[in-house]
Structure 1
Amino acid sequence: MANQKAKMILEKDFKVSEIDNRIYGSFIEHLGRAVYGGIYEPGHSQADENGFRQDVIEMVKELQVPLVRYPGGNFVSGYNWEDGVGPVESRPRRLELAWRTTETNEMGTNEFMKWAQLVNADVNMAVNLGTRGIDAARNLVEYCNHPGGSYYSDLRISHGVKDPYNIKTWCLGNEMDGPWQIGHKTAAEYGRLAQEAAKVMKWVDPSIELVACGSSNRNMPTFADWEATVLDHTYDHVEFISLHQYYGNRDNEISNYLALSLEMDDFIKSVISIADYIKAKKRGKKNINLSFDEWNVWYHSNEQDKRIEPWSIAPPQLEDIYNFEDALLVGCMLITLLKHADRVKIACLAQLVNVIAPIMTEDNGPAWKQTIFYPYMHTSVFGRGISLNPIISSPKYDSKDFTDVPYLESTAVYNEEEETLTIFAVNRHLQEGLDLEVDIRNFEGYKVVEHIVLENDDIKQTNSAKGTPVAPHSNGNAKTENGGVTAVLPKLSWNVIRLEKRK
């Protein structure tokens, strides 16, 4: 039986936007083994003089993560940042109420900033607007960003950090719409607090950018009203509104599962609409952009997480082991983010190590790459430049919750400076390859240099410390001919077709 056919037209002038590299950000929370046993394990054979696992550092560098959100997440809404600075031996142990564990505070602001520098990442710092508020927020900005000559900047200097960190991006709390959140607030309560915190944080450092909390997910009963109310209060003081969304294949129906990125697309469009409504209402000049600062697949570990012993230190929590189909959906979600690069300027795959993560470690053992590592790495490494707006025609299918789902989920990134063009594509078809034709007449002299494919006959195949059977190969058959590219995208596959201009 012949494969189905899909077509794409790429033009240099059909642009979405220059991509903000922060769209490839990630997230480390004081949760489970993300910090302790993840990035930090002093007794490990791979630990450096700071206690940081060098095997993990190397994998994070491979991903080229530009931005890491820290220290939470739900954790931040009960966190006193002062507990994590100064001499480690005098730091308090705290009952961590968000995840019902004990926080030792061995890792804090300065240790994390040192780690972020080692992996070449900026930090997206979150302030506690749950149990704390305006005062703690302004003090943390002063501690991190003020050069010296004030109480908190001099305190940082006394802790051995002479130069300010100049952290650019800050989150005004976390998921404050959620009843599970420590210090949960109504939209009006949170909007007022966020507005006043934002004001004083920018009085300390006018150069920072701020992210107001949007809804914890699209299905929250207060969604849309929450965004509108919060932005009504904060419009003049913030640059971003946040989005959070996790997906899972609970009914074990892959054609519906792989269509969930269409829901993500709709979620993004909805939040853009709300932000633009507030801009119009305020007669504003600036767009509020989007920070999709928590997104991923999360469902595999839900049952085992119910069995955690309360008040233990760094127990395994949220340790989803991802399979091949999860990697395909993550690829679709990354493509969706790139399609909205004009308004989604920050995104954080949640999280980075051990906790719903592309990188896993064993205590005193090896680190390894989960299936979702690869699409994340490919887009981060090859997806820098201009997000193009391709014209795509693809056969479609219907699933339980979606109609007209294209078998081809795809986009392209053009890097003018490096003269590269990269096509990212998922074939959602369960049984058949997809014959792809791409018109690149506008890209004269560009030739295919590599066609990376991630495929596997077993959609439930996982990776482990013993081996990574789900890994990409470069044996795809994409080629350049007659002003175009032709390729067969194997059934259920993630594809990266890389072109360069030949001199």
Structure 2
Amino acid sequence: MSNKAKMVVDKDFTIGEVDKRIYGSFIEHLGRAVYGGIYEPGHSSADEQGFRGDVLELIRGIDVPIVRYPGGNFVSGYNWEDGVGPVESRPSRLELAWRTVEPNLFGLNEFADWCRKAGTEAMMAVNLGTRGPEEARQLVEYANHPSGTYWSDLRAQHGYKEPHHIKTWCLGNEMDGPWQIGAKTAAEYGRIATETAKVMKWVDPSLELVACGSSNLGMPTFPEWEATVLDLCYDHVDYISLHTYYGNRDKDSANFLAQSMGMDSFINTVISTADYIQAKKRGKKKINLSFDEWNVWYHSNDADRQIEPWTVAPPQLEDIYNLEDALLVGCMLISILKRADRVKMACIAQLVNVIAPIMTANGGAAWKQTIYYPYMHASIFGRGTALVPLIHSPKYDAKDYTDVPYLEAVAVHNEEQSEVTIFAVNRNLTESLPLDIDLRSFGSFTLIEHIVLEHDDLKAANTLETPDRVAPHPNGSAVVTGSTVEALLGKASWNVIRLKLA
């Protein structure tokens, strides 16, 4: 095969409308995500509520549409009542999921205020580990009911007369995992999820609910878990969740960059399982997917084993990301866009400090990690209709994957803005990749820009001392020739090619 890649993009070959919520993120009471991350009273940029202004600015730069909260493993032992009311009356608790002390200085109402300032919506999770339907319905009443009842009036007493109108809720977290507080079998979880969903929607019929899928592709009960859970709660939920993290522990970069193919397989298997249950029930409702935890996570594993237990907000899961991590994050974003017809929500985990695109120093600066850039580019430029990418590319074999295309790419058509954006990764670690993109169905168009994220060192990272070591530049080589775009994608590079339609 030629070493040249070709991509055909036709405006009528649509995958589906991109739900902006696929560019969501996640804040858990874990490490410095909250304390020292989004919330640090006394910081020079903090507002009157203690929210870091420098972090808010970086988050607004991504245009994050939804943020999942408060966990994660944390939620399965969390009493939400500990985080509301006068701060001086809130208890400190042993937090068993991450072996820390939770001071409860930040809770539901602070998070709702923070979401408004960040320009995002809340995706709340309820505790189905140590608690159940009763506590979940009370939480919905507190958060969403206008007034005139015990829990809604308590919210008003706490200074929030107007309801928060939180519409998206997760029914627990990773309940198949033995590490989870209150872990359950699929049948046990399916039953409690059903009963919880019923009462939550009786309180507020407008809710959208997410059932827990498998914690990852490698769980021994996958995908039987999804089939059993959905068989029990199909009538009461709207989404099934997916979680996955990848790492380069074997220092095999070619195999590492191929791992998004596993994500493709994961998504397709969950879709097939959900559709099987729909067919079995003769149902009309499609269960869509919420990929509400995904990222690269492995750099901090050794350091996390050294953390002193029972401290407040220790530096946990603080992966420092390099260029190759950003490339895989780009490939994972492309995987999500390639199934935009069914993946309607997704959350890069997490947003600040904890396996995150944004890092901070306590009392100091905030900066962008390498993975910030593909996430930002996709969120800003990836709104519209995802198009089927017809790709011819040279391929390679890796340790765990065969026939891996060097070119990973997708296109998004924003009809409202009269733009088409191509997101493309060159997985080749040593050579540039010539690419021809055939866009004849769009008529005439001009190049807006070709953004490139690249670096000679795959392991190059951004730090407090060198925050801009790895940053995108607008000097890509793309040119328009008639109805074709020609570009040379640099070795190991993330590319954003933006086109203006006539």
Give me the TM-score of the superposition, normalised by structure 2: 0.99
Name the counterpart of 1:197.
196
2:438 counterpart of 1:439: yes
2:416 counterpart of 1:417: yes
User: How far does residue 301 in structure 1 lie from its aligned partner after superposition?
Assistant: 0.3
2:285 counterpart of 1:286: yes
Name the counterpart of 2:93.
94
Q: Which amino acid aligns with 1:492?
A: A
Q: Which amino acid aligns with 1:416?
A: E
User: How far does residue 200 in structure 1 lie from its aligned partner after superposition?
Assistant: 0.4
- The 2-side partners of 1:483 and 1:270 are apart by 36
2:476 counterpart of 1:473: no
- The 1-side partners of 2:165 and 2:19 are apart by 19
Residues 63 and 377 in structure 1, CA contact (< 8 A), matched pair in contact too: yes
Name the counterpart of 1:181.
180
Residues 67 and 122 in structure 1, CA contact (< 8 A), matched pair in contact too: yes
User: How far does residue 452 in structure 1 lie from its aligned partner after superposition?
Assistant: 0.1
User: How far does residue 479 in structure 1 lie from its aligned partner after superposition?
Assistant: 1.1
Residues 358 and 372 in structure 1, CA contact (< 8 A), matched pair in contact too: yes
Query: 1:52-91 maps to which residues of 2 (within 5 A)?
Result: 52-91=51-90
Deviations 1:371-408 (A, max 9, x none): 00000000000000000112111111101111100000
Name the counterpart of 1:50.
49
Consecutive unaligned residues of structure 1, counting only runs of 5 or more, are none
Q: Which amino acid aligns with 1:420?
A: E
- The 1-side partners of 2:192 and 2:250 are apart by 40
Q: Which amino acid aligns with 2:488?
A: V
- The 2-side partners of 1:57 and 1:270 are apart by 37
Name the counterpart of 1:343.
342
- The 2-side partners of 1:439 and 1:37 are apart by 48
- The 1-side partners of 2:430 and 2:218 are apart by 32
Name the counterpart of 1:499.
499
Name the counterpart of 1:483.
483
Give SS of 2:329's match: helix
Give SS of 2:4's match: strand
Give SS of 1:449's match: strand
- The 2-side partners of 1:201 and 1:445 are apart by 51
2:303 counterpart of 1:304: yes
Give SS of 1:442's match: helix
Query: 1:383-422 maps to which residues of 2 (within 5 A)?
Result: 383-422=382-421
Structure 1's consecutive aligned runs of 4 or more residues displaced over 6 angstroms after TM superposition are none
- The 2-side partners of 1:220 and 1:401 are apart by 18
Residues 147 and 153 in structure 2, CA contact (< 8 A), matched pair in contact too: yes
Name the counterpart of 1:20.
19
Q: Which amino acid aligns with 1:89?
A: E
Query: 1:141-152 maps to which residues of 2 (within 5 A)?
Result: 141-152=140-151
- The 2-side partners of 1:148 and 1:13 are apart by 49
Q: Which amino acid aligns with 1:485?
A: V
Residues 479 and 486 in structure 2, CA contact (< 8 A), matched pair in contact too: yes
Deviations 1:335-356 (A, max 9, x none): 0000000000000000000000
Name the counterpart of 1:214.
213
- The 2-side partners of 1:116 and 1:106 are apart by 16
Residues 171 and 210 in structure 2, CA contact (< 8 A), matched pair in contact too: yes
Residues 452 and 473 in structure 1, CA contact (< 8 A), matched pair in contact too: yes
2:294 counterpart of 1:271: no
User: How far does residue 3 in structure 1 lie from its aligned partner after superposition?
Assistant: 8.6
Residues 3 and 432 in structure 1, CA contact (< 8 A), matched pair in contact too: no
- The 1-side partners of 2:193 and 2:98 are apart by 24
User: How far does residue 4 in structure 1 lie from its aligned partner after superposition?
Assistant: 2.0
Deviations 1:150-169 (A, max 9, x none): 11111111111111111111
Q: Which amino acid aligns with 1:292?
A: F
RMSD between superposed Cα atoms in Å: 0.9
- The 2-side partners of 1:162 and 1:6 are apart by 58
Give SS of 1:129's match: coil
- The 1-side partners of 2:488 and 2:323 are apart by 19
Residues 444 and 482 in structure 2, CA contact (< 8 A), matched pair in contact too: no
Consecutive unaligned residues of structure 2, counting only runs of 5 or more, are none
User: How far does residue 230 in structure 1 lie from its aligned partner after superposition?
Assistant: 0.5
Residues 65 and 119 in structure 2, CA contact (< 8 A), matched pair in contact too: yes
Give SS of 1:228's match: helix
- The 2-side partners of 1:440 and 1:174 are apart by 43
Name the counterpart of 1:9.
8
Structure 1 range deviating more: 439-448 or 212-221: 439-448
Equivalent residues, number:
501
Give me the TM-score of the superposition, normalised by structure 1: 0.99
Q: Percent identity?
A: 69
- The 2-side partners of 1:482 and 1:57 are apart by 42
- The 2-side partners of 1:159 and 1:373 are apart by 36
- The 2-side partners of 1:464 and 1:431 are apart by 25
Name the counterpart of 1:374.
373
Name the counterpart of 1:166.
165
Name the counterpart of 1:231.
230
User: How far does residue 441 in structure 1 lie from its aligned partner after superposition?
Assistant: 1.1
Deviations 1:102-121 (A, max 9, x none): 00000000001100110110
Give SS of 2:488's match: strand
- The 2-side partners of 1:150 and 1:12 are apart by 52
Name the counterpart of 1:295.
294
Q: Which amino acid aligns with 1:241?
A: I
- The 2-side partners of 1:178 and 1:222 are apart by 10
Residues 94 and 102 in structure 2, CA contact (< 8 A), matched pair in contact too: yes
Give SS of 2:111's match: helix
